[in-house]
């Protein structure tokens, strides 16, 4: 007897097929999303027209007519007699980038310092680090900015009573003014020397590493590098007869003239951002170091490496891969938090462009859109860089 095999399994309903259902769900979501966005856009456009507000970017070419920043703190050379709202945008952008870059560098240093300090074997140091970290992390940033500006910097003496440091530097409640270098003919040689020094150092480091891998002999890379990067330009400077003079600031009338002014708003914002973000980075650093198993340190000691070398060669490289991702988001926070400068009047993007330009032109949608675009771009660039760096330091698994 033969048993006929019949395919008894019924053909599944199309709707029960998970693949089909997934596709349908995605289509529905996309349609909903697109119609939501187009509803918002058309609704806004219709209502703007009803209110008689014309959308467009022509305002960027109009003369701004106001002075967004101090003439002594004017990185883009803003000229009130002819510059436009686009130049205001540019000025704000440069000031945002300035404080973000300075803040990121300083916060990293502060963060690493206190992160390592918090793991110190000395209880007093450990306590100081813990007090700083917990204190700053748990107070709102805006409050810290206001305290730095109103309570610390505005408590400094007035312009006429400026703190005089060697007749070169003057500190008062409005700014710190420092001598500005004036480069004369022939300074190009010194710049060339600096570039040559850096390039030579890069080659030297590569050569030294190869030699060490081959022969095990070490080369004093740091000393030689310093000699090349600093020594060479200094020698050149004197060889060409010091083509450099200083613009020394002097009190004239209401304010100091000459030199470079570091305005108090920048200082306050920089300090607040640095110490606030630094506290978070310190915790990331501590976590990273603790994540490296103690066996690594013991093994390193067993091989005869000194504690310093153990830290820099064994622990830190392994800790970095734990530290980098959370630190990236701290960098992003810092760049975005710089917009809180509006509270104290530092002329960054949100303050001058989204503040003054917006109010003078009334182009809310265009200006807010541009500002959001800037922060998005800055954040994505930081992310891209940190992802690239993270790949470099990540463990290469074999």
Partner 1 sequence: MKALKLLAATAALAVVSTAASAATLDDVKKKGFIQCGVTTGLAGFAAPDDKGVWKGFDVDFCRAMSAAIFGDPMKVKFTPTTGKTRFTALASGEIDVLARNTTWTMSRDTDLGFEFVGVNYYDGQGFMIRKSLGVKSATELNGASVCIQTGTTTELNLADYFRTNKMSFTPVVVEDSAEARQNYDKGACDVYTTDRSGLAAQRSVLSEPDAHMVLPEIISKEPLGPLVRHGDNKWGDLARWTLNVLISAEEMGVTQANADSMKTANNPEIKRMLGTEGDLGAMLGLGKDWGYNIIKAVGNYSEVYERNIGPKTPVNLARGVNALWNKGGILYSAPLR
- Phi and psi at 347, nearest 5°, equal -75, 65
C-beta of residue 341 within 8 angstroms of C-beta of residue 268 = no
Q: Does 18 bind partner 1 (CB under 8 A)?
A: no
DSSP reduced 3-state for 63: strand
Compute CA 356 distance to the chain's CA centroid, rounded to the nearest angstrom: 24
Q: Does 266 bind partner 1 (CB under 8 A)?
A: no
- For the record, the structure tokens of 81 come out as 């007699």
Q: Does 255 bind partner 1 (CB under 8 A)?
A: yes
Which of 33, 57, 150, 203 touches partner 1 (CB under 8 A)? 150
Q: Could you tell me the smallest distance in angstroms from the CB atom of residue 180 to partner 1? A: 17
Distance CA 322, CA 390 (A): 9
Segment near partner 1 (CB under 8 A); pick from 91-99, 297-305, 351-359, 387-395? 351-359
| Other CB atoms within 10 A of residue 111 CB | 26
Q: Could you tell me the smallest distance in angstroms from the CB atom of residue 362 to partner 1? A: 5
Q: Could you tell me the smallest distance in angstroms from the CB atom of residue 338 to partner 1? A: 13
Q: Does 94 bind partner 1 (CB under 8 A)?
A: no
Segment near partner 1 (CB under 8 A); pick from 199-207, 284-292, 320-328, 346-354? 346-354
> 350: closest CA among 359, 361, 360, 340?
340
Which of 26, 35, 38, 43 touches partner 1 (CB under 8 A)? 43
Cα angle for residues 274, 276, 282 (degrees, 5° grid):
85
Q: Does 33 bind partner 1 (CB under 8 A)?
A: no
Q: Does 85 bind partner 1 (CB under 8 A)?
A: no
Distance CA 46, CA 371 (A): 23
Q: Could you tell me the smallest distance in angstroms from the CB atom of residue 261 to partner 1? A: 9
Distance CA 213, CA 205 (A): 12
Cα-only R_g, the chain: 29
Interface residues with partner 1 (CB under 8 A) are 40, 43-44, 47-48, 50-53, 65-72, 80-81, 150, 154, 158-159, 173-174, 252-255, 257, 264, 339, 342-343, 345, 347, 350-352, 354-356, 358-360, 362, 364-365, 368, 371
């Amino acid at each position: 007897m033969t048993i006929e095999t019949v395919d008894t399994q019924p053909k599944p309903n199309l709707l029960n097929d998970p693949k089909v259902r997934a596709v349908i769900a995605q289509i529905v979501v996309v349609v909903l999303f697109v119609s939501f966005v187009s509803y918002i856009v058309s609704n806004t456009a219709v209502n703007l027209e009803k209110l008689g507000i014309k959308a467009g970017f022509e305002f960027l070419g109009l003369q701004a007519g106001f002075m967004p920043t101090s003439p002594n703190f004017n990185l883009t050379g803003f000229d009130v007699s002819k510059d436009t709202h686009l130049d205001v945008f540019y000025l704000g952008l440069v000031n945002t980038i300035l404080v973000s870059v300075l803040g990121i560098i300083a916060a990293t240093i502060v963060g690493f310092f206190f992160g390592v300090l918090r793991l110190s074997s000395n209880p007093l140091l450990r306590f100081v680090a813990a007090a700083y970290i917990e204190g700053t992390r748990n107070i709102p940033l805006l409050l810290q900015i206001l305290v730095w500006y109103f309570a610390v910097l505005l408590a400094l003496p007035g312009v006429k009573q400026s703190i005089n440091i060697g007749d070169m530097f003057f500190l008062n409640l409005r700014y710190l003014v420092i001598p500005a270098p004036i480069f004369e003919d022939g300074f190009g040689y010194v710049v060339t020397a600096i570039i040559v020094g850096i390039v030579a150092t890069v080659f030297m480091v590569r050569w030294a590493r190869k030699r060490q891998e081959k022969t095990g002999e070490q080369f004093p890379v740091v000393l030689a590098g310093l000699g090349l990067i600093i020594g060479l330009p200094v020698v050149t400077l004197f060889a060409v007869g010091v083509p450099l003079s200083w613009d020394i600031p002097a009190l004239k009338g209401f304010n100091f003239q000459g030199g470079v002014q570091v305005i108090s708003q920048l200082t306050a914002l920089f300090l607040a951002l640095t110490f606030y973000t630094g506290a978070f980075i310190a915790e990331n650093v501590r976590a990273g170091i603790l994540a490296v198993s103690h066996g690594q340190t013991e093994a390193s000691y067993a091989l005869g490496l000194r504690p310093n070398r153990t830290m820099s060669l064994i622990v830190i490289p392994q800790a970095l891969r734990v530290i980098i991702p959370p630190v990236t988001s701290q960098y992003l926070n810092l760049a975005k938090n710089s917009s809180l400068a509006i509270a104290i009047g530092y002329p960054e993007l949100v303050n001058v462009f989204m503040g003054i330009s917006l109010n003078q032109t009334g182009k809310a949608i265009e200006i807010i859109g541009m500002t959001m675009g800037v922060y998005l771009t800055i954040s994505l660039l930081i992310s891209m860089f940190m992802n690239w760096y993270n790949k470099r330091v990540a463990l290469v698994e074999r």
